Amino acid sequence: MAIRSVSPLFAGRDAELAALLSAYGRAPSVVLVGGEAGAGKTRLVDEFAERVSGEALVLTGGCLEFSSGGLPYAPFTAGLRRLTREIGAAEVSALVPGGSHELGRLLPELGPPPARPDDVTASSHLFEEVLGLLERLAERRPVVLVVEDAHWADRSSRDLLTFLTRNLTRARVLVVVTYRSDDLHRGHPMRPVLAELSRGATVLHLPRLSLAEVTRQLTGILGHEPDPALAERVHARSEGIPLFVEELVRSADGPLPESLRDLLLAGFDALPAATRDVIRLATVNGSHTDHALLAAVTGLGDAGLSDAIRPAVETNVLVTDDTGYAFRHALIRQAIRTDLLPGERTRFHRAFAEALERDPSLGTASELAEHWHHARDEERALDAAWRAAEAAEKAYAYAERLEMLERVLDLWTPAAAERIGADRVAVLDEAAEAARVVGEHDRGLKLVREALSELDGERDPERLALLLFRRSKLRSDRGLAGELDDLERALALATGPSLTRAQVLAQLGGLWGLQSRPDRAQPYLDEALELADRLGAVEVRLNALMSRAGLDNLAGRSDEALRDYREARATAERLGMTWLVLRALVNEIDVLAFSGRLDEAMEVAHQAIELSRRHGRIRTHAVFGQLNLAEAQLAAGRIPDAAKTLDELLELPPEDALHADYLIYRARAALAMGEYDRAGEMLSRAREELESREAYTQEILPLAATLIDWHLIMDDPAGAMRVLERARRTRDLRLSPRFGWEVLTSGLRAALAAGDDEVRRELTDLAAVLPAPGPVSEARRRTFHALLTAAAHQRAPAVRPGEDDTARAVRPGEGDAAQAVWPGGEDAARAVRAGEADAARAVRPGGEDAAQGVRDGGDAAGGVRGDLAGGAPGGVSAEEVVTAWDAAAEAWARAGRPLPRASAVLEAARAAAGHDREGAAERLRAAAELADGTGAEPLVREIAGFARRARIPLDTAAGAEPAERERLGLTEREYEVLRHLADGRTNREIAADLFISAKTVSVHVSNILTKLDVSTRGEAAALAHRLNLFPS
């Protein structure tokens, strides 16, 4: 019996096949199939496709190993081509909502694509059309979309794949992605994409076959069970890789190959000479070659090529699809190609290039550029690379565009500028911008540096200004110093009313906003807005408008900030400027969080993250969105959720300029949960990162506040004081009230713990004049006053968390230690910026807001200065301490922060315990309610510990309440909500009492009605009274 090249028995992959079939039944779903080279990924997918092909439409396309970045949209083009051949171009167009406009970029048969105002808009339309087509197809029957060899996927294909998997949420579409796991090195661009896709997906990794499975595979190949010794020998040599098993058994009658290359070439060497010649030629064209192209290159014609290639297909060296031929495994192609002589490779590439020049419809501009490059025809290679770069831009394939532009530069000659119609500086500039768009900042900086060295700036100052502007943005994205110098120099060069000047002005305004200098930012933004209106530069206008909104936000003018952000967002949405829509969204999150509207902030954060993923901006805007979501979760007391959100960022590493923000946030979550060693390690790394570059005020001050808290928790007031001194030396806290109050409250704890009266007085003087913009800053101001008041009463403030009868110095989970105040946003939006035109007055001592900063009950800071200066310990009464902490707690409630409120309520309980035991008990129970379920375990333990030492029971319904509650099936929180319902309180009133949102109360009420089997709130209250659940 003849030896088969492939076993008809499907060996060793039954579990994986069952998983694929199960996922198909649950569609929409995603399955990732990984395995090393030769593991049988294609065979598995083929088996699955055969099982479902009678019911489902199976669209398969592979990524091509052609250049270092692959070919743009290759798997989707292949699938679309198969679909078009099956149902016709007209039917495909009819299935796409609005007609197949952008799909013509992938398949010319579908018609020319329309012109778009910008690349991102057109890319979005293309993605939406592919999505719409799949959804319409799925209305007819289930669709299976197979993307093979994703380890070779180009940037554009990766972005489209991510978009589809995130948005195919209802259609009956199964997406199957195969990839070679042993090719995914640490820096491979597919790794973060697979991490993103794996959320909610079925992930299959194909292991090597066992001896029993290899024996079964050999049985299928041989047609009978193999000799046990042969099976063991093949298994040992192949190490269970199915492809190698197939190749080894083909040489079973002769000596075994001595190398893998010989093993892979065994089948090839047995082919007729004419067939080998065609295959050798095909190796230089990548893993797949269209029949029409290969026929043109060989000159054999359709029939002649079919005759020549048939033996290779019959022996499974090659496999066929609707358009041409592919090597059964990439390793076979590599082995054959390795045997080519250098002269042969050059000649073969030239043959392909000439065929593509004669008939461009046979391939793509990128293919032509590759072949001329390897054919060593530098002039033609340069021309082709320039055309390929233009084609990549039209297809929004910026990674491929960067590669082609760099090739143009590599091939540059003195005559090149005339040939392509652009000088070398222009090509360098375009390549730098492409590098920035794809996040290759170091490459972009190198390109700009070269352009600057070649440009005669004296003859063309406007162009020099544009290059400096380009470099400033790359430096900012990379987290490097020098951005401000570049922009100021560019502004001095761009003296006329030009677009370049408008861009530089807007960027300068945003940068000074990042440094909390509204007095410097506002003039730039005013001129940028005026010039943008005059020039009709919409993008510049929207960027400047959002930077101005950031100034309003930092000054506490949240309504004005939201108005401008939403105006900018509406305009950007109307014009299809997705990147500006995302910038507006990520900044809206911060405005909402800073003004205490945390539920809204989290809702907008999810919206921003989803939109970012839909448009392929996973490592930029999606990262901002997740950081801002974590901020809101920390502030809302959802510490485990925040930690999870932040840890998910490790799968999509933040860009260099954002990594320190991630570390600060994650350290705050760790502090709140009692993970002090982890927090310290992260804070140390964050400090190293910020010290290595030009950091912004919005980074320096939150880090300083968190470091101070950490040192105090670790019983190191001296270390806390060193951090405070450095922060005060490097930043003027008066210029940044929002972040200044973070440092002031933490710094005061440090000064009190260290017994440093001089620093305490200096901080008190500053607090007396520092404005408190927004509810969060106001809550910190009241906390500062409460700390001073408690210190004046006791003259011995506590340092360690959990100490009993003193004012606590710092506590994990308290607002300034656990609450995130990272000011989310992108570029100018990465910080929340300080005031607008009049904001300079707001941060100057003596300004209107400064005067208001010490209102309410007298001088909030100065009123206790005399007591601390040397008065008797009894100069401030315990009742005054209670009042101060109650005021702080109320302020934190208005800011929507449950954890710092719980801490303030606990301090009020401590102060009341000696003279108002009932009031202390009431406050302790309120603190316990607030801290319960937040994940801030150190704070929960501290509340319980003080209650135990004070002999105050936290459970007011010992015995009876748990039994009744359990009988009714209610949770503790639902039982408490029912207690308030029985008192006739509204959802808003209940929310205020329990320090949760009205929306959360509504959910609890719905659950109560269901569990009590009643229809209305009144019926629930009546039942509670009838059962005498709450006698009081």
- For residues 289-306, give the mean pLDDT: 93
Q: Report the relative pairing of strands 29-35 and 202-205 from DSSP bridges.
A: parallel
Q: How confident is the model at residue 954 (pLDDT cuts 50, 70, 90)?
A: confident
Residue 423 has pLDDT above 60, yes or no: yes
Residues 89 and 75 in one domain: yes
From the centroid of its chain, how far is CA 678? 23
What sign for the dihedral angle of Cα 999, 1001, 1007, 1008?
Answer: negative
Supply φ then ψ for residue 116, to 5 degrees. -125, 155
- pLDDT 10s digits, 617-644: 666 677 788 889 999 999 999 999 999 9
Half-sphere exposure at residue 22, Cβ-oriented, CA atoms within 13 angstroms: 10
What percent of the residues of the chain are helix, what percent strand, and what percent coil, each to the nearest 5? 70, 5, 30
Parent domain of 1013: 960-1026
Q: How far apart are CA 608 and CA 623, in angstroms?
A: 10
Last-in-domain residue among 222, 256, 290: 256
pLDDT score at 841 = 24
Nearest alpha carbon to residue 932 among 923, 944, 917: 944
Distances (CA, A) of 826 to 627, 643, 833, 1025: 11, 21, 12, 54
673 lies in a domain? no
User: CATH number for the domain including 317?
Assistant: 1.10.10
The DSSP letter of residue 1005 is: H
Residues 32 and 177 in one domain: yes
Last-in-domain residue among 146, 180, 207: 207
Question: What token pair was written down for 261?
Answer: 């290359």
The DSSP letter of residue 830 is: G
Q: Which of 70-84, 675-689, 761-775 has the lowest mean pLDDT?
A: 70-84
Q: Is the peptide bond before 28 cis (omega within 30 degrees of 0)?
A: yes
DSSP letter for each residue of 86-97: HH-HHHHHHHST
Distances (CA, A) of 75 to 65, 152, 617, 674, 712: 12, 10, 21, 49, 57
Identify the residue with better confidence: 199 or 408. 408
User: CATH number for the domain including 1010?
Assistant: 1.10.10.10
- For residues 867-874, give the mean pLDDT: 38
Q: How confident is the model at residue 429 (pLDDT cuts 50, 70, 90)?
A: very high
CB 198 within 8 A of CB 190: no
Nearest alpha carbon to residue 469 among 118, 122, 827, 826: 827
CB 675 within 8 A of CB 681: no
Helix axes 155-167, 598-614, angle to 10 degrees: 130
> What is the rounded end-to-end Cα distance, in angstroms, of the chain?
92
Identify the residue with better confidence: 1026 or 739. 739
Q: Is 459 exposed, middle or buried (0-12, 13-18, 19+ CB in 10 A)?
A: exposed
- For residues 189-213, give the mean pLDDT: 88
pLDDT score at 396 = 64
pLDDT score at 6 = 62
Identify the residue with better confidence: 266 or 731. 731
Q: What angle do CA 317, 46, 44 make, to 5 degrees?
A: 95
Q: Which of 95-109, 374-388, 682-696 has the lowest mean pLDDT?
A: 95-109
Q: How far apart are CA 316 and CA 4, in angstroms?
A: 10
Residues 244 and 264 in one domain: no
Q: Which of 223-227, 350-354, 520-524 has the lowest mean pLDDT?
A: 223-227
pLDDT score at 867 = 39
CB 1004 within 8 A of CB 972: no
Q: Report the relative pairing of strands 324-327 and 288-290 from DSSP bridges.
A: antiparallel
Q: How far apart are CA 662 and CA 619, in angstroms?
A: 13
Residues 220 and 309 in one domain: no
Residues 978 and 1002 in one domain: yes
Residues 226 and 189 in one domain: no
549 lies in a domain? no
Distances (CA, A) of 156 to 71, 370, 392, 843: 9, 18, 9, 47
What sign for the dihedral angle of Cα 374, 377, 380, 381?
Answer: positive
pLDDT score at 4 = 52
pLDDT score at 1 = 41
Residues 192 and 303 in one domain: no
Q: How far apart are CA 534 and CA 522, in angstroms?
A: 18
pLDDT score at 694 = 77
Residues 236 and 290 in one domain: no
Q: How far apart are CA 560 and CA 546, in angstroms?
A: 11
Q: How far apart are CA 662 and CA 641, in angstroms?
A: 15
448 lies in a domain? no
Q: Which of 90-104, 376-390, 438-452, 853-867 has the lowest mean pLDDT?
A: 853-867
Q: How far apart are CA 973 and CA 979, in angstroms?
A: 10
Residue 544 has pLDDT above 90, yes or no: yes
- For residues 21-41, give the mean pLDDT: 89
788 lies in a domain? no
The DSSP letter of residue 62 is: E
Count of all residues that appear for the chain in the document: 1032
Helix axes 538-554, 518-535, angle to 10 degrees: 160
- For residues 200-226, give the mean pLDDT: 87
Helix (H) or strand (E) holding 354: helix 342-358
Q: How far apart are CA 935 and CA 752, in angstroms?
A: 28
Question: What token pair was written down for 437?
Answer: 């768009």
- For residues 999-1014, give the mean pLDDT: 88
pTM to 2 decimal places: 0.58
Residue 54 has pLDDT above 90, yes or no: no
Residues 94 and 217 in one domain: no
Supply φ then ψ for residue 617, to 5 degrees. -100, 60
- pLDDT 10s digits, 695-720: 888 889 999 999 999 999 999 999 99
245 lies in a domain? yes
CB 814 within 8 A of CB 806: no
- pLDDT 10s digits, 86-131: 888 888 888 887 666 778 878 888 877 776 555 556 677 888 889 9
Residues 147 and 166 in one domain: yes
pLDDT score at 1028 = 77
Residues 229 and 151 in one domain: no
- pLDDT 10s digits, 449-476: 999 999 998 899 999 999 999 999 898 8
Q: Which of 221-235, 867-881, 982-996 has the lowest mean pLDDT?
A: 867-881
- For residues 817-837, give the mean pLDDT: 28
Q: Which of 216-220, 443-447, 663-667, 726-730 has the lowest mean pLDDT?
A: 216-220
pLDDT score at 864 = 40
For all residues of the chain together, what is the average pLDDT? 83
732 lies in a domain? no
Range among 395-399, 595-599, 656-660 with highest mean pLDDT value: 595-599
CB 548 within 8 A of CB 564: yes
Last-in-domain residue among 145, 173, 207: 207
Residues 6+ apart with CB under 8 A from 80: 59, 92, 103, 106, 107, 110
663 lies in a domain? no
Residues 156 and 31 in one domain: yes
422 lies in a domain? no
Q: How confident is the model at residue 5 (pLDDT cuts 50, 70, 90)?
A: low
User: CATH number for the domain including 59?
Assistant: 3.40.50.300
Number of folded domains that form the chain: 4
Q: Is 926 exposed, middle or buried (0-12, 13-18, 19+ CB in 10 A)?
A: buried
- For residues 573-598, give the mean pLDDT: 90
Name the strands in the sheet holding 324-327, side by side, starting at the edge strand that comes first in the sequence.
288-290, 324-327, 318-320
327 three-state secondary structure: strand
Q: How far apart are CA 106 and CA 97, in angstroms?
A: 17
The DSSP letter of residue 184 is: -
Q: How confident is the model at residue 974 (pLDDT cuts 50, 70, 90)?
A: confident
